[in-house]
Amino acid sequence: MGRLAQTDGLTEIQRDILATVREFVDKEIIPVATELEHKDEYPTAIVEGMKQLGLFGLTIPEEYGGLGESLLTYALVVEEIARGWMSVSGIVNTHFIVAHMINAHGTQKQKDYFLPRMAAGEIRGAFSMSEPALGSDVSAISTKGVKDGDFYVLNGQKMWLTNGGTSTLVAVLCKTDEGGSSPYKNMTTFLVEKTAGFGPNPTVPGLTVPGKIEKMGYKGVDTTELVLQDVRIPADRILGGIPGRGFYQMMDGVEVGRVNVAARGCGVARRAFELGIAYAQQRTTFGKKISEHQAIQFKLAEMATKVEAAHQMMVMAARKKDSGERNDLEAGMAKYLASEYCKEVVEDAFRIHGGYGFSKEYEIERLYREAPMLLIGEGTAEIQKMIVGRRLLEEYKLAD
C-alpha cells in the first residue's frame, strides 16, 4: 500500500474496518471483477461476503443492529470497494442513502420496522427520484400520489434506479399537491416494499420493473425503470409520516450520496493510478522502462496529485457532514473534483497502457468505461458548479 490517499486522525476501529475491507477487496473482488463485469453478472457471492462483514449496516445505529459508524468511515469503505469494482459500491450506496433517510427522517415505527433488517442486509434499499423527462430539474416531477382514505394511489414512471430489480425497498419521490404553491413543498417520499425481481411485481399490484437498462459501463449492478400504475400505498408509509417533506428528505439523501460518488471517484482513480504506475515499470521502449521516460514521470506525477487532492476533498466533505454542519458546498466541490479527476487519471492510465489499454484483457479497459458514470451520478458537473456558486455568493455576499 502506497502513501497516497491516507487519512489522518482515524480511530483504531476505523483503521481495522478499512484493513478488513481492503483485504476483502484484494481477495474477493479484484480477481473476479473484470470477468463478472464483462458478463454483466450480478456479484452474488461478493454481496453475501459484504453481508457477513456487516457493511449493509455500517452506518445504521447500534440500537438497530448496525455498526453505528460515521459518514467518513462509510466513504472510506466505499473508496476501497470502488477501487476493486465500482459497481459493488453502487450496490451499497443506494441502500445506505435509504437507511440514512429513514434514520434521519423516519417515524419511530418506521425505524423499528426497517432498520434492523436493513442492517442485516435482509431488506435492500433503492432510491427513486429521477424520471425519463426530468433530468436535474426535480421541480418538474410528474409521478403523482393522490390521497384516497388511508392510502395514496401512485401513478408515474421513474428512471435510473440503481438496484431497481434486486432491491426490496424503494424510497419513491412523488408529487402530492398538499403543500401549497411551492413545488418543493408538494413532494412526498413513499417507502415502497416489493419483491426482488423484474416484470410485474407479485406482491405490489400495479408496480413493474421492466428489466435492466443496458449500459456501456457500471455493469453487474442492475439499473432500471420503475412503472407505477394505481399502486396503493398506506399513508403510514410516507417517510416521516407527514406529506410535503419529500424534496428536503431526498436532498439530504443526495448530499450524502454526493460524498459517496466522490469516494467512488477516488477509489477508481486510485486503482487506475496503481495500474498505470505498475505497467510503466513493466513495459520497455527504446531500450528502457517507460517509467524512465520523463514524459511518463510527468504523467504519473499529475495522476498522483489528482488522486491525493480528490481524496482529501472527499474526506473534508464527509467530516463536515458528520459534524452536523451544512455541507452542500463541500459535497458539491468534492463530487465535482473527484469525478473530473477520476476521468482524467483513468484516461492517463489508459494512455500509459498504449494499445493494450484497448484490450478487454486489461483492467484499465473496464475502468475507462466506468468513469463516465461518475460525471453524471448525483448531479452533473454543471449542477455541482451551480450549487457551489450559489453557496459562495451566500458566504461572500456584500453588505447592502
Over the stretch 341-357, which tens digit does the pLDDT of each residue have?
999 999 999 999 999 99
**Residue 379 banded pLDDT, cuts 50, 70, 90:** confident
Residue type, 54: G
Three-state SS across 329-365?
Answer: HHHHHHHHHHHHHHHHHHHHHHHHHHHHHHCCCCHHH
Distance CA 86, CA 104 (A): 27
- Residue 358 grid coordinates: 484497448
Query: Is 378 a known active-site residue?
Result: yes
Residue type, 243: P
Residue type, 327: N
Q: What is the pLDDT of residue 346?
A: 98
DSSP 8-state class, residue 376:
H
Distance CA 390, CA 172 (A): 28
Distance CA 2, CA 83 (A): 14
Which CA distances in Å does 118 have to 40, 66, 112, 122, 239?
A: 25, 9, 11, 6, 16
**Exposed, middle or buried: residue 51 (CB in 10 Å: 0-12, 13-18, 19+)?**
middle
Helices (H), the chain: 12-24, 30-39, 44-53, 71-84, 86-105, 108-119, 246-280, 294-322, 328-353, 363-376, 381-395
Over the stretch 111-159, which tens digit does the pLDDT of each residue have?
999 999 999 999 999 989 989 887 677 878 999 999 999 999 999 999 9
Q: Please give the backbone phi and psi of residue 353, each rounded to the nearest 5 degrees, phi first.
A: -70, -15
Catalytic hit among 37, 79, 225, 378 = 378
- Assess whether pLDDT exceeds 70 at residue 398: yes
**Residue 177 banded pLDDT, cuts 50, 70, 90:** confident
Distance CA 215, CA 101 (A): 28
Distance CA 375, CA 387 (A): 15
Q: What is the pLDDT of residue 378?
A: 77
- The whole-number average pLDDT for the span 245-268 is 91
Q: What is the pLDDT of residue 1?
A: 61
More confident residue, 383 or 363: 363
Over the stretch 207-220, which tens digit does the pLDDT of each residue have?
999 989 999 999 99
Residue type, 200: P
Residues 307 and 269: beta-carbon distance below 8 Å = yes
**Residue 66 banded pLDDT, cuts 50, 70, 90:** very high
CA-wise closest residue to 188 among 228, 224, 144: 144
- The whole-number average pLDDT for the span 262-279 is 97
Q: What is the pLDDT of residue 295?
A: 95
3-state secondary structure of 264: helix
Q: What is the pLDDT of residue 27?
A: 97
Over the stretch 216-252, which tens digit does the pLDDT of each residue have?
999 999 999 999 999 999 999 999 999 999 999 998 8
Which residues, at least 6 apart from 66, have a Cβ–Cβ distance to it below 8 Å? 54, 57, 58, 59, 60, 115, 119
3-state secondary structure of 159: strand
Distance CA 27, CA 140 (A): 45
Sign of CA dihedral 242, 247, 248, 253: positive
Q: What is the pLDDT of residue 88?
A: 95
Distance CA 258, CA 101 (A): 14
